[in-house]
């Protein structure tokens, strides 16, 4: 072949036929993804907050068990502490996984957020039940329901963001850009 317009540059092969008539096409690659992982980062950030709150809840439950070892609340504090530990562990592991772009992190955030939603709903139901038992509806309901609904926003948002299609697409390996073929 003759040298191209620049030294060391070879001319590109040219086919006068359109690709449908037998010209060789370069190998096709999938189009690059337009997702940058913003939903994954947002879900990981919310999961970090859930993990922090779960850790604080676990520490409070342990302090209650240590402070009152013969109390009748020992069993309930143990259950609350175990649930908070599971929520904290799953949420923190999921947040780290999402920051590292791991699909397992997404699953951990989904499970941890679901447990947090269940924990808050049970807290609200128990608060409602204790208000009827103690016949002190106004103070207990004033504390339980508004704070429960406010705290429900964080795990539901983390759950929605982690389940979103863009989070899954952001966790996929990045595809390199398609090569430029001058002459096509």
Structure confidence at residue 34 (pLDDT): 55
pLDDT band at 171 (very low <50, low <70, confident <90, very high): confident
pLDDT band at 159 (very low <50, low <70, confident <90, very high): very high
pLDDT, tens digit (0-9, with 9 covering 90-100), for 58-114: 999 899 888 877 777 788 788 889 999 999 999 999 999 999 999 999 999 999 999
Structure confidence at residue 105 (pLDDT): 95
Contact indicator for 127, 151 with CB cutoff of 8 Å = no
Contact indicator for 128, 143 with CB cutoff of 8 Å = no
Q: How many helices (H) and strands (E) does the chain have?
A: 5, 0
Q: Which carries the bigger pLDDT value, residue 113 or residue 169?
A: 113
Structure confidence at residue 181 (pLDDT): 67
Residue for token digits 């924990």?
119
pLDDT, tens digit (0-9, with 9 covering 90-100), for 114-151: 999 999 888 888 777 665 555 555 554 555 667 778 88
pLDDT, tens digit (0-9, with 9 covering 90-100), for 32-67: 555 568 899 999 999 999 999 999 999 998 998 888
Rounded-to-integer distance, Cα 41 and Cα 21, Å = 47
Structure confidence at residue 154 (pLDDT): 94
End-to-end CA distance of the chain: 19
pLDDT band at 162 (very low <50, low <70, confident <90, very high): very high
Q: Which carries the bigger pLDDT value, residue 159 or residue 19?
A: 159
């Amino acid at each position: 072949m003759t040298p191209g317009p620049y030294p060391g540059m070879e001319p590109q092969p040219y086919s006068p036929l359109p690709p449908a008539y037998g010209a060789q096409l370069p190998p096709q690659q999938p189009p690059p993804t337009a997702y940058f992982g913003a939903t994954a980062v947002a879900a990981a950030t919310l999961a970090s907050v859930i993990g922090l709150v779960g850790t604080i809840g676990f520490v409070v439950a342990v302090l209650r068990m240590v402070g009152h070892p013969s109390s009748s609340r020992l069993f309930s504090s143990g259950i609350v502490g175990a649930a908070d530990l599971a929520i904290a562990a799953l949420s923190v592991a999921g947040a780290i996984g999402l920051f590292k772009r791991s699909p397992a992190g997404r699953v951990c955030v989904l499970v941890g957020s679901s447990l947090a939603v269940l924990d808050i709903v049970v807290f609200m139901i128990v608060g409602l039940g204790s208000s009827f038992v103690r016949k002190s509806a106004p103070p207990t309901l004033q504390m339980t329901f508004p704070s429960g609904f406010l705290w429900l926003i964080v795990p539901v948002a983390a759950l929605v963001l982690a389940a979103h299609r863009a989070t899954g697409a952001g966790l996929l390996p990045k595809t390199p850009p398609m090569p430029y073929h001058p002459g096509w």
